[in-house]
Structure 1
Amino acid sequence: MRIAMIGTGYVGLVSGACFSEFGNDVVCVDKDEVKISRLDRGEIPIFEPGLDDLVANNVRAGRLTFTTDLTSAVRDADAVFIAVGTPTRRGDGHADLSYVYGAAKEIAEAMDGYTVVVTKSTVPVGTGREVERIIREARPDVEFDVCSNPEFLREGAAITDFMRPDRVVIGTESERAQEAMREIYRPLYLIETPIVFTSLQTSELIKYAANTFLATKITFINEIADLCEQVGADVHDVSRGIGLDGRIGRKFLHPGPGYGGSCFPKDTLALVKTAQDYKAPLRIVETVVDINDKRKKQMADKVIQACGGSVSGKTVAVLGLTFKPNTDDMRDSPSLDIIPALQAAGATVKAYDPEGMKEARQMLPDVEMCDNAYAPIDGADVVVLITEWNEFRALDLKRVKGLLKEPLMVDLRNVYNPEDMAEAGFTYVCVGRSTVDAKVSA
């Protein structure tokens, strides 16, 4: 199959590379000439483990190319995927669909013969119908079908998620479009991946329902963690105890500073706004959004309280800036709320992140960015762990203790064992478990 992928952001680039790995001929299209030039040189603009090799291998095989020429890419394609951004619209919280509708107009003008137009971007219910209307109005002479095919990719594990997904969701009422999509995803049929065919509207809603449910699980366990701290319970044992119930499941029951990233914040908000528009408000999701926004700010208070109630004049060492490990994505990261709050309280902040500092320098210009995990700790009053990168899981605690003014760690991801930290001589503050003080013998 010949595929045109409109947009070379996270979803478009990963999807295009993976489709080419399936044996399809893929052209990735973007208006950004600099980005296309970089991709032609083999430079990957995002950090995603394994993506550089996947792109390089399929470029060499001749199955994957990049261009700014949308017209030629669409004209020769059997299927055109729209994978442009749908950020939160300023002022009202709705998804901004201007890029999707703009792409639809350009695709309409370029189509030559029957084409399946597929929305891969995360879009609210009704978007596919509007895309269909835009194309039909512009080109009543051309045969086409519009499908919804939402992505379920986790940053840091996107290639595995694409190649061995839990399911593939395809929304279309057209038999012809279904056959085309079956052909595109044929390698997944061979490994018996569940493929759900449904309507356009249902497919669009499945994506939002999935993300908001996961965001709700995160928010639920964060609130349980707060209760655990008050009653002396251990949130990790609670998570395991409920997660072993097959009806609940273990995943997304890890307490922390709140969810962030490119999906959950904007998708929960967009679904809330859609539900309100249709006069079917989702009170649970509205509460999740509110609690998560507040939680990030509460984590700064947690650090301040650990420092005796004030960080004025103190130096805070922050480990981890991205919203999760194995990505350079800073969008809606908890660090973007926690660090400014600490600075507003009078703290000087030094930080290190394995992949996120290039973007973080622009978003947190008053933070001193360091070259390794130990550099910000040197001379600091407290070390705060915000993102659980693997290299932070095995810090030389003796070295950390020697670099700090006082052996104080606030671990917002519960990476370490409280008893081990006490043995190592630390006052250790975590989430949903009791704070432990350094043992006298340490």
Structure 2
Amino acid sequence: MKIAVIGTGYVGLVSGACFSEFGFDVVCVDQDAGKIEQLKAGKIPIYEPELDTLVKNNVDRGRLSFTTNLPEAMVGAAAVFIAVGTPSRRGDGHADLTYVYAAAETIAKEIKDYTVIVTKSTVPVGTGRKVAEIIRKTNPAAKFDMASNPEFLREGSAINDFMRPDRVVIGCETDAARAVMRQLYRPLFLIETPILFTSLETAELIKYAANSFLALKISFINQISDLCDLLGANVTDVSRGIGLDGRIGSKFLHPGPGYGGSCFPKDTLALMKTARDVHSPLSLVEATVSYNDARKLQMVDRIAAALGGSVVGKTISILGLTFKPNTDDMRDSPSLVIIPELIARGAKIRAHDPVGIEEARKHMPDIDYRQDAYDTMSGADAVVILTEWNSYRALDLGRVKTLMKAPVLVDLRNIYRPDEMAAFGFNYSSLGRPRAL
């Protein structure tokens, strides 16, 4: 079976590469000729572990190709996946569907035989119906069915998430469309992956509901960590204690400086807007968004407190810039709020990230970026761990202490133990855990 994937961003490129690994003939399409030339040359425009190898192997086998020519890509394609960006729209927070609708219109002109049109992009409820309407209006003779197939890929582990997912959600309403989608996901069916068929609207809502619930879970444990600080409790043990309850689970119960990334901020805002539009506001989601925004600024106050109440004239070493490890994605990263606020309060910033410096530089060009973590800490008044990269989990603490002007370490990811840090003589602060005596 041949499929076409429109959009070679994170979702489109990962999905296309993984479908080709399943054995399908995949053509990825993008209007950005520069990006397509890069991909043809074997250069991957995003950082995702193992993606470069997966792409190269399937290009070499002739199962994966890249083009700017949509008509050519659609010849013989049984399914066309729309995997273009849906950023938050300025002003109201709703998803901007400009690229989705443009793709629908372009696809419509090229439909020659029966085709399943699949929205892979995260889109608000009702988008599938609107795409179908655009296709019918543009090409009344088109033979097609719509399907919604939301992605649940975590940056940094996207390939495993695609190959061994918790579930696959497919919204479609005809036997013909279900048959095509079943064939596409047959490799997962054979390993007993749950495959849920629903209506278009239900599939679209599942994606937003899932991400909003996870965002709520993150904010819940962040609030509990604040409470632990005041009560002398240990949030690590609280997280373990509630996570062992099978109804709750242990994932997303790790306190931090607030969620970021390409999905949670955008999707919570879009779901809020959808709910308001139908006069059924989601107060829990709205509270989560407000709290998460405030959380990032609260982290600046914590850093200032560790330095005696003020950061004026202080040199602060930031370890980690991306919103999570194993990605170079800076979208809505807490660092984009915390670092500018520290600078506004008079701090001098040095920063390190294993892979995110070039992306970070686009947003914060005037920071002193260092290519070595220890160089970043030399002469610093404080070190702040913002992203829990593995390379930061085993720092030579003795060396760190000798490099710093003062042994102040603010761990906003709780990757070290308070007793260990006290033994090394650090003035150490973390989230929701008592200081070691």
TM-score range, shorter chain: over 0.9
Paired residue secondary structure (1:154):
coil
Q: Which residue of 2 aligns with 1:325?
A: 325
Q: Distance in 2 between matches of 1:379 and 1:272?
A: 45
Paired residue secondary structure (1:116):
strand
Q: Distance in 1 between matches of 2:343 and 2:74?
A: 50
Q: Which residue of 2 aligns with 1:153?
A: 153
Q: Distance in 1 between matches of 2:313 and 2:289?
A: 33
Q: Distance in 2 between matches of 1:190 and 1:336?
A: 43
Map of 1:241-320 to 2, 5 A cutoff?
241-320=241-320
Q: 1:23 aligned to 2:23?
A: yes
CA RMSD of aligned residues (A): 0.7
CA contact (8 A) 1:429 1:436 kept: no
CA contact (8 A) 2:111 2:143 kept: no
Which runs of 5 or more structure 2 residues have no equivalent in the other structure? Answer: none
Map of 1:44-193 to 2, 5 A cutoff?
44-193=44-193
Using the TM superposition, give the Cα deviation of residue 70 of structure 1 relative to its aligned residue in structure 2, in angstroms.
1.0
Q: Distance in 2 between matches of 1:155 and 1:322?
A: 11
Cα deviation 1:158-185 (Å, max 9, x = unaligned)? 0000000000000011110000000111
Using the TM superposition, give the Cα deviation of residue 434 of structure 1 relative to its aligned residue in structure 2, in angstroms.
2.1
Counterpart of 1:318, as a letter, is I
CA contact (8 A) 1:72 1:110 kept: no
Q: Distance in 1 between matches of 2:27 and 2:254?
A: 39
Q: Which residue of 1 aligns with 2:433?
A: 433
Map of 1:412-427 to 2, 5 A cutoff?
412-427=412-427
Paired residue secondary structure (1:316):
strand
Using the TM superposition, give the Cα deviation of residue 71 of structure 1 relative to its aligned residue in structure 2, in angstroms.
1.5
Paired residue secondary structure (1:374):
helix
Cα deviation 1:68-122 (Å, max 9, x = unaligned)? 0011112331100000000000111000000000000000001111000000000
Aligned length: 437
Q: 1:406 aligned to 2:390?
A: no
Q: Distance in 2 between matches of 1:72 and 1:333?
A: 38
Q: Distance in 1 between matches of 2:224 and 2:353?
A: 29
Counterpart of 2:337, as a letter, is D
Q: Distance in 1 between matches of 2:53 and 2:256?
A: 32
Q: Distance in 2 between matches of 1:33 and 1:12?
A: 16
Paired residue secondary structure (1:65):
strand
Paired residue secondary structure (2:350):
strand
Using the TM superposition, give the Cα deviation of residue 367 of structure 1 relative to its aligned residue in structure 2, in angstroms.
0.9
Q: Which residue of 2 aligns with 1:382?
A: 382
Q: Distance in 2 between matches of 1:311 and 1:293?
A: 21
Q: Distance in 1 between matches of 2:363 and 2:140?
A: 46
Q: Which residue of 2 aligns with 1:440?
A: none
Paired residue secondary structure (1:337):
helix
Paired residue secondary structure (1:102):
helix
CA contact (8 A) 1:381 1:408 kept: yes
Q: Distance in 2 between matches of 1:341 and 1:420?
A: 30
Cα deviation 1:285-341 (Å, max 9, x = unaligned)? 000000000001110111011100011011000000000000000000000010011
CA contact (8 A) 2:18 2:163 kept: yes
Q: Distance in 1 between matches of 2:392 and 2:207?
A: 33
Cα deviation 1:192-223 (Å, max 9, x = unaligned)? 11000000000000000000000000000000
Using the TM superposition, give the Cα deviation of residue 435 of structure 1 relative to its aligned residue in structure 2, in angstroms.
3.3
- Percent sequence identity is 67
Using the TM superposition, give the Cα deviation of residue 63 of structure 1 relative to its aligned residue in structure 2, in angstroms.
0.3
Q: Distance in 1 between matches of 2:359 and 2:161?
A: 25
CA contact (8 A) 1:225 1:432 kept: yes
Cα deviation 1:326-374 (Å, max 9, x = unaligned)? 0000000000010011001100000000010001111111210001111
Q: 1:366 aligned to 2:358?
A: no
Q: Which residue of 2 aligns with 1:214?
A: 214
Using the TM superposition, give the Cα deviation of residue 436 of structure 1 relative to its aligned residue in structure 2, in angstroms.
4.2
Using the TM superposition, give the Cα deviation of residue 423 of structure 1 relative to its aligned residue in structure 2, in angstroms.
0.2
Q: Distance in 1 between matches of 2:365 and 2:37?
A: 29
Runs of 4+ in structure 1 over 6 Å off: none
Paired residue secondary structure (1:349):
strand
CA contact (8 A) 1:121 1:150 kept: yes
Q: Distance in 2 between matches of 1:193 and 1:394?
A: 36
Further displaced range: 74-83 or 110-119: 74-83
Q: Distance in 1 between matches of 2:380 and 2:176?
A: 63
Q: 1:5 aligned to 2:5?
A: yes
Cα deviation 1:203-260 (Å, max 9, x = unaligned)? 0000000000000000000000000000000000000000000000000000000000
Using the TM superposition, give the Cα deviation of residue 31 of structure 1 relative to its aligned residue in structure 2, in angstroms.
0.5
Q: Distance in 1 between matches of 2:345 and 2:177?
A: 57
Paired residue secondary structure (1:375):
helix
Q: Distance in 2 between matches of 1:67 and 1:275?
A: 38
Q: Distance in 2 between matches of 1:50 and 1:410?
A: 32
Counterpart of 1:170, as a letter, is I
